[in-house]
A = this chain, B = another copy of it.
Amino acid sequence: MRNPSAILIERPKGVPTARHFAIEDRPLPSLEAGQLLVQAQAWSVDPAQRGWANDAPNYLPPVAIGDPMRGFAVGEVVESRRPDYRPGDIVSGMLGWSRFAVSDGSNLDGKFTYSDLPPSYALGVLGLTGVTAYFGLLEACAPETGETVVVSTAAGSVGATVGQIAKIKGCRTVGIAGGAEKARLCLEEFGYDAAIDYRAPGLIDAIDAACPNRVDCYFDNTCGAISDAVMTRLAKGARITICGTAAITDWDPLPQGPRVHRQLLAASARMTGFLAFDYADRRHEALDALAGWLREGKVKVREHWLNGAEAAPGAIELLYAGGNTGKLLIEL
């Protein structure tokens, strides 16, 4: 059996592009006691992979040159030397961008047990995306009924989930996304009360029009110009979740931007850096709630599929260019 893997062959500075990867057929690993073999059905493409590929301070060491790219995947157990997993089980976790991956269980999120829902959801709304959206909004922003919640990358996988959870909680939801098509998706597919295309002129005026009572909660995935604009419109007691920084391609040296201190002070506002890993032990609280909302049709999911391992090298670049609509996945 072939084992195509997306290998990091060159250290990127900023967004990894196609030239930083090569697809290689790696030897099929053999199992030792306590291990299991997973055949991937889909690889996940996530913003965090930029940080993992770069040699910069992060919460995980950088991926080594010559190793398969670190990444999430979902697949089927095809062989098991563990009592807790059987062939046929669907599992997801940080299995890396290889068709076949050996696991000792420690890098798995456990079994995907929502058998009435698509396994690919384990890489999105019923995985880290869902945990991020759920706790990043409900714990770090703690929105209350009637408050205005602004979401950047509002049509993306995390953003769309945040917007829909905020709507379920009775908030006024305002989505900021790039381009008219994504703004349309925000309104028609994800139920935002208002949508702003940040590529159109007049971003501040559009925020003012969409947020007559200013911004109570801001869930940010961008940093940069969008964030700078929203920060000038905070309501008293505003809460900001810093979930990602997609608009900034290089953090070394630290980029300059408007100082936020006076804005936080004048509004008695709070800005929190959010990592979903911090909520690992409460994961099922988020996923059970989201599975319920998915079944009720209150949360909708959009997936963007690329075909085959050959699509992997350019996938992170595509993500950062905003070329996807919905959760970006690679079908194996």
Contact = CB atoms under 8 A, between A and B. Distances in A.
Contacts of A212: none
Interface in A223-281: 223, 227, 242-245, 248, 251, 254-275, 278
B274 A268 contact: yes
Nearest to A220: B261
A206 to B, nearest CB: 20
Given A254-B258, A259-B255, A259-B257, A273 B278 contact: no
A201 to B, nearest CB: 20
Given A248-B259, A258-B254, A259-B254, A273 B273 contact: no
Contacts of A269: 272-273
A57 interface: yes
Nearest to A227: B261
B268 A271 contact: no
A275 B261 CA distance: 12
Interface in A198-231: 220, 223, 227
A266 B58 contact: yes
Contact of A245 (B57, B251, B262, B273): B262
A275 B268 contact: yes
A267 B273 contact: yes
Interface residues on A, range: 35 or more
Contact of A256 (B227, B257, B275): B257
Contact of A223 (B58, B242, B261, B278): B261
Contact of A265 (B245, B256, B263): B245
A245 B262 CA distance: 7
Nearest to A224: B259
A260 B223 CA distance: 10
A255 to B, nearest CB: 5
Contacts of A260: 260, 271
A261 B274 contact: no
A303 B278 CA distance: 44
Contacts of A251: 262
Contacts of A223: 259, 261-262
A152 to B, nearest CB: 12
Contacts of A58: 266
Interface of A: 57-59, 220, 223, 227, 242-245, 248, 251, 254-275, 278
Given A220-B261, A257-B259, A261-B273, 7 more contacts: A248-B261, A254-B258, A256-B256, A264-B273, A265-B274, A268-B273, A270-B270
10 interchain residue pairs of minimum CB distance:
A264-B273, A265-B273, A254-B258, A257-B259, A256-B256, A270-B272, A271-B271, A223-B261, A242-B261, A251-B262
17 contacts: A58-B266, A220-B261, A223-B259, A227-B261, A242-B264, A245-B261, A254-B262, A256-B258, A260-B260, A260-B271, A261-B273, A263-B273, A264-B271, A265-B275, A268-B273, A270-B273, A271-B272
